[in-house]
Amino acid sequence: MQTLENDFLKILSSAQGAELQSVFSKHTNLEYMWQAGREWTKHAPLLFPIVGQLKGDTFFYSNKPFELSRHGFARDSAFVISDQSKNHIQYLLQQNTATDNYPFCFNFYVSYTLFNNKVETKFEIENIGSEEMYFSVGGHPAFRVPLHDSENYDDYYLEFDKQENASRYLLLDGLLSGQKEYVLCNTNVLWLSKSLFYKDALVFKDLQSERISIKSKASSNGLHFNFNGFDSFGIWAAKDADFVCLEPWMGHTDWLNHNQNIVDKEGIIRLSSEGKFCCNYFIEPF
């Protein structure tokens, strides 16, 4: 376990999955990350080289099948530390025997950096192969709700920084069914409840906001989650669990009628040989 610390925050991360496991505020004396429990054993898994689920757990490239489990292999892979300082740590995953079911050569860097009271998570992908690379990438951090023992889950709500008119794209067996239902109707507030996630994740493809805040009607503590440039967003919690995941995605799970060819996958990122891609998001407790 690796520690980064400044006057505001102390965070912990692990080379296994390059996973952020703790965000502790020295000012509020609160832990903000879900500390892994029987409902869900992860903290903030990384989604790479796919986001969500492939139809039949398989994609085709150059007429060859490649099997990948949900969200890809990065979250279960051993990274190495490639750079570290007092306020920054960078992990690296390269193609290896555990990634044989992915036909592209890559460097996948994941870094955590403290900027006063903010934690930046940054993804950087390098295509070190000789042909165009196809991938998706995303975050899956889980935050404690409630933060105080005196509070209830439904004391909390998500506040979007813009008024939203947005539908959730409904899932069937982990795939996009083609059906939608309105969740945000000319509002910037979504109240949390355990039942909100009984139909699986809320999948959005048309959010206007670049910041979502977790807030409570019963206390002044919460966090700001700043993201920009991600084309999809997921909000999820395991059934009846005391957390909520805020998930910025580049790409998303397959449609039920997808032809399984990765070059035709909606939201897939195409990266030329020797090309680089990066995206990031920020966690700011209060």
pLDDT at residue 255, rounded to an integer: 98
The per-residue pLDDT for range 21-51, each reduced to its tens digit, is: 999 999 999 999 999 999 999 999 999 999 9
Following DSSP, what letter does each residue of 15-36 receive, concatenated?
Answer: TBTTEEEEEEETTTTEE-B---
The per-residue pLDDT for range 179-225, each reduced to its tens digit, is: 999 999 999 999 999 999 999 999 999 899 999 999 999 999 999 99
Tally of structural domains, the chain: 1
CATH number, residue 119 = 2.70.98.10
Question: Distances from the Cα of 16 to the Cαs of 44, 126, 235, 264, 282, in angstroms?
Answer: 12, 20, 24, 32, 21
d(CA 42, CA 35): 8
Predicted confidence band at 95 (pLDDT cuts at 50, 70, 90)? confident
- Diameter of the chain by CA atoms? 57
d(CA 115, CA 28): 17
pLDDT at residue 239, rounded to an integer: 97
Neighbours of 67 (CB within 10 A): 11
Domain extent for 44: 2-285
The per-residue pLDDT for range 101-159, each reduced to its tens digit, is: 999 999 999 999 999 999 999 999 999 999 999 999 999 999 999 999 999 999 999 99
